[in-house]
Amino acid sequence: MTQLSVLDLSPIVQGGDASLSFQCSLDLARRAEALGYRRYWMAEHHNMPGIASAATAVALAHIGGGTSTIRIGAGGIMLPNHAPLMVAEQFGTLAALFPGRIDLGLGRAPGTDQMTAQALRRHLSGGADSFPQDVVELLHYFQDAKPGQAVRAVPGAGAQVDVWILGSSTFGAQLAAMLGLPYAFASHFAPAELDRALAIYRERFQPSERLQRPYVMAGVTAVAADTDAEARRLFSSLQQSFVALRTGMPGPLPPPVDDMDSRLDPQAKYMLSQALACAVIGSPATVETGLKAMIARTGADELMITSSIFDHQARLRSYEIVAAANRAVALAA
């Protein structure tokens, strides 16, 4: 059976705040653990009023302390924003707190706009261009420290942290293949190069001490409800949020609206159709069909499910339906 995991942006809803978001995230993590989801990842974004997970390692400590078995991790840490040593120390600390449960997904985008990237890094030298070297340096810090090693990660050296490469293009696929690391593709918001990237990763994969064969995760936006109509209504919150972000007006996650299509101009409709082409929206039967198609298309070892839904209870219900649909797909195979 294809494994399912959770990607949580810890959405800040209209009328809510970050405290509420983190309460809801922990509740969702506990429910996901009970439902058999394999991982619970949070993502680093900055200067976005609708996303609370900017300090990703800190937020993950909150999730880890309230769960017991589900793997927790970053999907991802935007490495150009950080010194590799600091990331190794942060995730080495998480590995010491929650042994055998920590994942670290690495991305090469800033996770924000250029002005905020400047505020994060103070200067923009290196950045995405130095991503491969930064990944190699970070992997080095997770190795056992050698006698006389001048700089080591404490905690971090020798830590059991599973490192992933994230991507929405063929660049990350090539790097993950070369380093022999698992690869997660961001098909939940940028699916254009999904098929090509997965093919390159599998064709060029070189076994490593960390991984002997290619391992693929594909992101899927999934909004499930008891009926197709209700799922489409719940989905309208994310649609509104996407349009606001792409037009330079990001904000908290808005409540759903009826008849979203009538509110969109042709340009917005096209943008959403491209960005969310892999979204699975609907009733249990519709979601089962969508998951089956995504698994057949990608051959993914794992699907990372993300669901930005305004109402927390509806969000919990969505993940329940998705888990049940995935079991149905496996039984029918």
Domains of the chain, each with CATH number or no CATH:
3-332 (3.20.20.30)
The amino acid present at 96, given as its one-letter code, is A
Asked if residues 63 and 72 have their Cβ atoms less than 8 Å apart, the reply is yes
Asked if residues 111 and 42 have their Cβ atoms less than 8 Å apart, the reply is no
pLDDT for res 333: 82
pLDDT for res 116: 66
pLDDT for res 118: 72
What mean pLDDT comes out for the span 87-95?
A: 98
pLDDT at 127 over 70: no
pLDDT for res 209: 96
Asked if residues 195 and 229 have their Cβ atoms less than 8 Å apart, the reply is no
Partners of 8 in the beta sheet? 42
DSSP-based three-state secondary structure for 258: coil
pLDDT at 125 over 90: no
Q: What percent of the chain has pLDDT over 70?
A: 95
Return d(Cα 16, Cα 3) in angstroms, integer. Answer: 32
pLDDT at 6 over 70: yes
Neighbours of 266 (CB within 10 A): 7
pLDDT for res 130: 87
Of 237, 235, 230, 195, give the one whose Cα is nearest residue 216: 195
DSSP at 117? H
Report H helices in 169-253.
170-179, 194-204, 228-246
> What would the pLDDT profile of 54-90 be if each residue is shown by its tens digit?
999 999 999 999 999 999 999 999 998 899 999 999 9
pLDDT at 121 over 70: no
pLDDT for res 128: 59
Burial per residue of 216-239, b for 16 or more beta-carbon CB atoms within 10 angstroms, e otherwise: bbbbbbbbbbeeeebbbbbbbbbb
